[in-house]
């Protein structure tokens, strides 16, 4: 999945970029004026909430006119605007946009000064209203460039009614998983399915969690930081071996490797498969095809009993918003986003959209049943992590996706998987044209 920034860097540099932009100014509530142009990715949660929030914001600020433009392919609309030096004031560009390349090229405003000012109608510094582990994901070299809004928790999903009907218990360990899979298979149901056309789901839902379970979070950090030898560590071989074992024992749905994300998820919802890796967007994404009365619940990927990793480790993913360095009204953008991330608005987003928000206390509402376990696991976790390397090194990530597919197809062994992944990491490591990042 290429990001749209690839191939634009030279053009952007010509436009006058020379490294990361300075921090934005302080924000004084009520001092905002002028037009505020917002462009957002219109995905499963739509754009209506942002439009309503913008209208409310305008009513509170005389002389402000906010325009919200939303599109499923907003990244393609943003591309020429950044090249011309006429980007919007605030944007949520979606997953296809390489925001870290934009940061590297000085196209994104650092927001640390703004984060040090008061939150919307509050005495609390704005930065202190966000969950720290989520805010940290928008930082590079000690500065904050992108801000979280809603976020996803990634793990496995199961049908609690199906499990109850058969006396099954969600497995906490890999050993329990193997025992459960045998029982499920005996019932004529595939124990697991996956979105084979998009290997990212297996990487995020199985490979990475099992690397962390086997070798600890520090080992995964070394991998993300491209430390020599990290990708051929024993923990990588172990995680790959677990994938191979599940495949060899027939515990994956037949033909899963050819399924799209919605096809695999439909098979899960129609009980052709008992478990599936996915994020907390699953319910919203599949709502229209959800069988009547169907329930789903979240579980952490089963861990390795003798592993070094924290069994509470949990993966999260933010959807970043940012203020372009050449925004015409950065102050207006900052003040608008302060309003959007106020506690009341955050709670409203959780209630209306059925997802989790990066604002502290926003889960203090009646969460939908399918979110309760994920939210509780996030709060209880002592090791919250994110796959930042996916956004930093897109070509390398694509190489690993290909290797995962080859592993599941039986084309490479777990040992070969690790060796080839390390070779791909070395290629990325030595490429001087690729900006390098560090997980702090």
Shared domain for 180 and 235, answered yes or no, is yes
Looking at the structure, do residues 80 and 156 belong to the same domain, yes or no? Answer: no
Domain range for 135 = 9-149+319-361
Rounded Cα distance between 138 and 364, Å, is: 24
Share of the chain above pLDDT 90, in %: 90
User: Which tens digits make up the pLDDT trace of 368-386?
Assistant: 999 999 999 999 999 999 9
| pLDDT reported for residue 402 | 98
Those residues whose C-beta lies under 8 Å from the C-beta of residue 57, and which sit 6 or more positions away, are: 64, 66, 335, 336, 339, 340
Residue 77 sits in the same domain as residue 129? yes
Establish if 312 belongs to a structural domain: yes
Do 101 and 247 fall within a single domain? no
pLDDT at 41 over 60: yes
Pair 106, 188 in one domain? no
The verdict on 307 and 338 lying in the same domain is: no
Residue 4 counted as domain residue: no
Band (96; pLDDT cuts 50, 70, 90): confident
Domains: count for the chain: 2
- pLDDT at residue 405 greater than cutoff 70: yes
303 lies in the same domain as 395: yes
Looking at residues 100-106, what average pLDDT do you find? 92
pLDDT beyond 70 at 32: no
Domain membership flag for residue 97: yes
If asked whether residues 19 and 121 sit together in one domain, one would say yes
State yes or no: pLDDT of 27 exceeds 50.
Answer: no
Rounded average pLDDT over 341-368: 96
Report pLDDT for 44: 84
Per-residue pLDDT tens for 117-142?
999 999 999 999 999 999 999 999 89
Query: Does residue 350 form part of some domain?
Result: yes
At residue 64, the pLDDT reads 95
Mean pLDDT of the chain: 92
Please answer whether residues 33 and 26 qualify as being in contact, where contact means their C-beta atoms are separated by less than 8 angstroms.
no
Assess if residue 440 is contained within a domain: no
Q: What pLDDT, on a 0 to 100 scale, did the predictor assign at position 216?
A: 98
Phi–psi pair at 364, nearest 5 degrees: -85, 50
Name the pLDDT band for 429 (thresholds 50, 70, 90): very high
**Quick one: 230 and 108 in the same domain?**
no
Q: Would you state the structure tokens that stand for residue 220, as one six-digit string? A: 């995964």
CA distance 277 to 202: 7
Q: Is residue 249 part of a domain?
A: yes
- Inter-residue contact 301 to 156 (CB < 8 Å): yes
Residue 318's DSSP bridge partners are: 151
Contact 194, 201 (CB under 8 A): yes
31 with 46, same domain: the answer is yes
**For residue 87, is it within any domain?**
yes
Task: Give the single-character DSSP code of 291.
Answer: P
Please report whether residue 345 resides in a domain: yes
Task: Indicate whether 288 and 423 sit together in one domain.
Answer: yes
| Helix and strand counts by DSSP (H, E) for the chain | 20, 12
Q: Quick: pLDDT tens for 265-307.
A: 999 999 999 999 999 999 999 999 999 999 999 999 999 999 9
| 336 plus 419 within the same structural domain | no
Question: What CATH number has the domain bearing residue 119?
Answer: 3.40.190.10
Residue range 193-217, pLDDT digits in tens: 999 999 999 999 999 999 999 999 9
């Amino acid at each position: 999945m290429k990001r749209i920034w690839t191939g634009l860097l030279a053009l952007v540099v010509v436009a006058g970029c020379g490294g990361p932009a300075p921090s934005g100014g302080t924000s004084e509530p009520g001092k905002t004026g002028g037009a505020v142009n917002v462009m957002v990715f219109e995905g499963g949660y739509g754009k209506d909430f942002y439009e309503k929030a913008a209208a409310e914001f305008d009513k509170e600020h005389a002389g402000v006119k906010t325009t919200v433009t939303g599109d499923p392919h907003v990244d393609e609309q943003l591309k020429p605007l950044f090249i011309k030096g006429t980007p919007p004031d605030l944007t949520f560009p979606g997953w296809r946009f390489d925001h870290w390349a934009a940061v590297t090229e000085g196209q994104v405003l650092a927001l640390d000064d703004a984060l040090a000012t008061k939150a919307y109608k509050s005495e609390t510094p704005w930065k202190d209203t966000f969950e720290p582990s989520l805010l940290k994901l928008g930082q590079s070299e000690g500065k904050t460039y992108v801000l979280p809004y809603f976020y996803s928790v990634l793990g496995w999903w199961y049908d609690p009614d199906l499990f109850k009907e058969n006396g099954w218990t969600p497995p906490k360990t890999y050993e329990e998983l193997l025992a459960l899979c045998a029982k499920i298979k005996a019932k004529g149901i595939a124990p697991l399915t996956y979105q084979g056309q998009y290997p990212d789901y297996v990487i995020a839902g199985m490979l990475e969690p099992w690397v962390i379970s086997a070798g600890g979070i520090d080992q995964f950090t070394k991998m993300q930081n491209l430390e020599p030898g990290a990708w051929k560590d024993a923990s990588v071989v172990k995680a790959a071996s677990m994938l191979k074992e599940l495949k060899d024992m027939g515990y994956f749905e037949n033909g899963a490797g050819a399924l799209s994300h919605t096809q695999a998820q439909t098979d899960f919802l129609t009980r052709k498969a008992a478990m599936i890796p996915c994020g907390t967007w699953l319910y919203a994404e599949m709502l229209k095809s959800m069988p009547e009365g169907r329930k789903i619940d979240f579980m952490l990927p089963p861990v390795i009993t003798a592993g070094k990793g924290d069994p509470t480790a949990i993966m999260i993913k933010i959807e970043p918003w940012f203020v372009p360095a050449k925004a015409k009204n950065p102050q207006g953008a900052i003040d608008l986003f302060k309003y959007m991330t106020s506690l009341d608005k955050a709670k409203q987003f959780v209630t209306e959209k059925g997802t989790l928000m990066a604002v502290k206390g926003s889960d203090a509402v009646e969460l939908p049943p399918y979110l309760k376990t994920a939210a509780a696991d996030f709060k209880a976790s002592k090791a919250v992590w994110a796959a930042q390397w996916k956004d930093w090194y897109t070509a390398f990530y694509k190489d690993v996706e290909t290797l995962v597919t080859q592993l599941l197809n039986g084309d490479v062994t777990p040992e070969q998987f690790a060796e080839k992944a390390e070779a791909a990491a070395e290629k990325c490591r030595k490429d001087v044209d690729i900006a390098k990042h560090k997980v702090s």
